[in-house]
Structure 1
Amino acid sequence: MGTKSACNWMTLWASILFVVILGFSRLSYGMFLPGIQRELGGSYGQLGILNTVNFIGYLVGTLCLPPLIARSPDRKHVINRLTCLLLAIAMIGSAFSETFIQLGLWRFSIGLLSAFATVLVLSIAMDAIRPAERGVASGLIWLGGSAGILLTGLFAPFTIDPSHLQGWRYAWVAMGVFGLIAAFGFELVTQKQGTAKIPQPTESKPHDQGSVNVYRLLLNPKEFLFLIASYFFFGWGYIIYFTYLIPYLVSKGIPSLYAGLIWSGIGFAGLFNGWIGGKAIDRWPSGYTLAAGVILGTIGVSGVITDQMLYTAWGAVTVGLVSFLTPPLMTTALLRRHVPHSAYAACLSIATAFFAFGQIIGPIVGAVMVDRYGLQFGVASSALFLAIAAALAGLYGQQQRKQEIRDLQL
């Protein structure tokens, strides 16, 4: 079966699944923190560290998936089907947590399963897309995460308002049910459309198509090291912002409806980010393109420093518009463009592991900042790590440019 354009039913259902995989299962936690704290107790710093548990599970998943795929390369669809179903069930289960330990175990399970689902859904969907349109397809899929944030923001009056003590529980159950529907839809359209046979990418520079040492490829300074390092620091920075932004707004006395609208503003702007970022990376497949988006996001995060809600809200929308999805979708597209097809799933999984390392460290550092210096300083500290990510992406773009010049001289 031949490859398809970026806009097809498989891409649509993959995007709907990413509503669950990213927006619901992982990032909704930051929105629900005030409600969870009122019922389970603990400081925001302590509850924030539970996000570390989530991303430890995410890291374990990214490390376990490559050998699992290598052992059963023809069973990706089966593994993905089981993973997506279990992820939805785990979200429903987390709604019944009564202690930190129970919630931590559910968060670990959700992190593990979402790591599997992220790589497998992307890999299966991208296999069916024409090489020239994979950036757009990646953007369309990742914008599902933005839609998830948009929807969780609309839940705010029922999840963080003190008058609805258990609203966060009902919301997680509803999200889990939605996840079951999304998993069924993706499986149905995948079986209907079949699996495409993809030719080796012609746009990338030659690589050994035999046995590829993916670690040597990704950690080589002349290949992808700066890109992977940028992804690591982005994970470190953005998760601090997404974990503590809503608690910061609540601590400032912002009504739950307005706090939710600011959160939804990130998701709404991110819907355009997925499309804009995908088109940009298809047209300018460079680290410079990635760096530009992260720089603007750094400026947006810094709006918290002003202590003015207008600038904080503007900054949140900026983050959603130009940098929330930019690193994941652009890293996905750049790797898909430049690594051998046979090594793509493993390379994406390892890159995601570095992203997960950043997300593990981020909540710990953020918790220390919040407990020691307050929520405002903790949220603002994410700008530093985003700036480092932007600088590293620029270095990757510079290394790409030098390689292009060398290729032209040959």
Structure 2
Amino acid sequence: MSWKSNPRAVLIALLVIHILAHIDRNMVLGFSPQITRDLALSNAQYGFLTGAVWVLSFGVMALFMGTLADRFSRTRVMAAGILVWSACTAASGMAHSFEQMALARFFVASGEAALVPAAVSLLAELFSAERRGGAMGVFFMGIPLGIGLSFLLAGSFESQGWRSTFTALGVAGVMVALPLVLLRDHRGTKDEAPRGAPFRQQVRNVFAVLRSSRTIQAAIAGFVLAHMAFVGLAFMQLWLVRERGFDPGQIARQIGGLQILFGVLGSLVGGVLGDRFARRMAGGHAGFMATLVVLCAPLMIASRFVPAGSPLLYVGLCASFFLPLALYGPALAVIQGHTPAQMRSTVTGVTMLLINVVAIAIGNLAAGAVSDRLAAGGSTSPLTTVLLATDVFSVIAGVFFILAARGPKVMGAQTPIAAH
């Protein structure tokens, strides 16, 4: 019996791997006060580590790995990526300068670029269009769980230090990668996903599809802009410690707990309810995403203006954890549903490239540089100003979701091999 005959088990396994990926990726955030102190990093250098370094690696490699996953075994592409990012996570713990940490994080990003394009394509193959958003939502629970656990681990193992924590995570990743090598994922055979074209032709084919579909264009644009919320997350602990007076260890644990609770809730609500509302709501999944923005963005913006003891501060934090994760299921359901099966990994790679260029790299680097400049100019709340600006992009994302909602319904020709 093929391992693909149990889509739910595949989904859970991919979720576990995704959690590990985001623990490794976001442990720099959880230990941000200690790492910036020990390596004497400026805000701009910290923003580069959490942002621009990912574009130089993750964004470009996501496109390349997407084309490989559309042609060859998705499981083996993922296994190779896990081995690379795990080894370089361990190497991150040995860094003694900004340059050494940047190099290690560069290759962590290269390895992680293999996971999402291959996994999203595999889930789109295994789950029907009616359940695809829910499956994507469950898989992308790995983001809040991984981010939350990175903060919880950082808060709990503060005394052990960030170096030993990074080393232990690297060893754990190698152990996870080995079983994936044994799973065979045939491409282009009967009842399996068709095989994509070689790299250059595949990229040309994908961009032809993107040019022809305004629905995909608008959905990707809104999805990318919504990721500016992750810029806010990258600087959240620094903001709460420096400008709201919270204790680093205590607020790390609180951020971790809230990220897990409301990020997971967002993934489930966006995925499961998105599938249900898509059948009833005008605009389908895209209309549902626009509604989420209208509900959450005002709370995020309002939280930047209140003092540390205000309940509205925590309400806004919860909304900022909830919204971006709630968009993953419906956004990818729209994008994958309008994409031919042999191009799904590559289109996901293009989406990840844009997210990392526009939101993660430019967003984080700009946030760090602007906050440094504001602080040098005498501002007492430079991070508050910058994070407020990132919240405004969520509102702009809602406009693009409205445009996507006016497009055609999901392609009916994309029939999965299983409809579980």
For Structure 1 versus Structure 2, the TM-score category normalised by the shorter chain is: 0.7 to 0.9
The alpha-carbon deviation at position 254 of structure 1 amounts to: 0.8
- Could you tell me whether the CA contact under 8 Å between 2:262 and 2:318 is conserved in 1? yes
Equivalent position SS for 2:407: helix
- Other-structure match for 1:313: 314
- Other-structure match for 2:43: 44
Equivalent position SS for 1:154: helix
- Could you tell me whether the CA contact under 8 Å between 2:90 and 2:170 is conserved in 1? yes
- Other-structure match for 1:406: none
Asked if residue 397 in structure 1 is aligned to residue 405 in structure 2, the reply is yes
The alpha-carbon deviation at position 319 of structure 1 amounts to: 2.3
**Superposition pairs of residues 300-379 of structure 1, within 5 angstroms:** 300-302=299-301, 303-309=303-309, 310-321=311-322, 323-358=323-358, 359-373=360-374, 374-379=382-387
- Other-structure match for 1:278: 271
- Other-structure match for 2:164: 170
| Aligned-partner Cα distance in 2 for 1:246–1:266 | 12
- Other-structure match for 2:218: 226
| Aligned-partner Cα distance in 1 for 2:79–2:368 | 35
The alpha-carbon deviation at position 327 of structure 1 amounts to: 3.0
The alpha-carbon deviation at position 271 of structure 1 amounts to: 1.4
**Superposition pairs of residues 97-108 of structure 1, within 5 angstroms:** 97-108=95-106
The alpha-carbon deviation at position 116 of structure 1 amounts to: 1.6
- Could you tell me whether the CA contact under 8 Å between 1:294 and 1:326 is conserved in 2? no
Report the residue type matching 1:141 in the other structure: F
The percent identity for this pair of structures is: 20
Q: CA, structure 1 residues 187+16, in 2 after alignment: closer, same or farther (shift >3 Å)?
A: farther
Once the two structures are overlaid, the 10-residue window that deviates more, 93-102 or 190-199, is 190-199
The alpha-carbon deviation at position 39 of structure 1 amounts to: 0.3
Once the two structures are overlaid, the 10-residue window that deviates more, 116-125 or 83-92, is 116-125
| Aligned-partner Cα distance in 2 for 1:179–1:3 | 23
Q: CA, structure 1 residues 152+69, in 2 after alignment: closer, same or farther (shift >3 Å)?
A: closer
Q: CA, structure 1 residues 106+99, in 2 after alignment: closer, same or farther (shift >3 Å)?
A: same
| Aligned-partner Cα distance in 2 for 1:211–1:315 | 40
| Aligned-partner Cα distance in 2 for 1:130–1:196 | 18
The alpha-carbon deviation at position 179 of structure 1 amounts to: 2.4
| Aligned-partner Cα distance in 2 for 1:300–1:19 | 27
**Superposition pairs of residues 6-405 of structure 1, within 5 angstroms:** 8-21=8-21, 23-51=22-50, 52-69=52-69, 73-158=71-156, 164=159, 167-184=161-178, 190=183, 197=191, 213-220=205-212, 222-235=214-227, 237-251=228-242, 252-255=244-247, 256-283=249-276, 284=278, 285-302=284-301, 303-309=303-309, 310-321=311-322, 323-358=323-358, 359-373=360-374, 374-400=382-408
Q: Alpha-carbon deviations, 1:324-377, whole Å to 9, x = none? A: 313333222222222221221121111222112222211122113311331221
Q: CA, structure 1 residues 292+179, in 2 after alignment: closer, same or farther (shift >3 Å)?
A: farther
- Other-structure match for 2:199: none
Report the residue type matching 2:93 in the other structure: A
Unaligned runs of 5+ in 1: 201-209, 404-410
| Aligned-partner Cα distance in 2 for 1:35–1:366 | 20
The alpha-carbon deviation at position 187 of structure 1 amounts to: 5.2
Q: CA, structure 1 residues 130+3, in 2 after alignment: closer, same or farther (shift >3 Å)?
A: farther
| Aligned-partner Cα distance in 1 for 2:212–2:356 | 20
Q: Normalised by the size of structure 1, how large is the TM-score?
A: 0.84
| Aligned-partner Cα distance in 2 for 1:76–1:93 | 26
Q: Alpha-carbon deviations, 1:160-207, whole Å to 9, x = none? A: x6xx4x62222222332332343345556x45999993589xxxxxxx
Q: Normalised by the size of structure 2, how large is the TM-score?
A: 0.82
The alpha-carbon deviation at position 42 of structure 1 amounts to: 2.2
- Could you tell me whether the CA contact under 8 Å between 1:250 and 1:259 is conserved in 2? no
The alpha-carbon deviation at position 292 of structure 1 amounts to: 2.3
Equivalent position SS for 2:113: helix
The alpha-carbon deviation at position 34 of structure 1 amounts to: 0.8
Q: Alpha-carbon deviations, 1:74-112, whole Å to 9, x = none? A: 333322211112111111111111111111111111222
The alpha-carbon deviation at position 5 of structure 1 amounts to: 7.0
| Aligned-partner Cα distance in 1 for 2:15–2:78 | 15
Report the residue type matching 1:330 in the other structure: P
The alpha-carbon deviation at position 221 of structure 1 amounts to: 5.7
The alpha-carbon deviation at position 379 of structure 1 amounts to: 2.0
Q: Alpha-carbon deviations, 1:25-79, whole Å to 9, x = none? A: 3333222211101100122232112221123211111232244346xx1333322
| Aligned-partner Cα distance in 1 for 2:184–2:208 | 35
Equivalent position SS for 1:224: helix
- Could you tell me whether the CA contact under 8 Å between 2:275 and 2:285 is conserved in 1? no
Report the residue type matching 1:177 in the other structure: V
| Aligned-partner Cα distance in 2 for 1:4–1:134 | 16
Unaligned runs of 5+ in 2: 195-201, 279-283, 375-381, 412-420
The alpha-carbon deviation at position 142 of structure 1 amounts to: 0.7
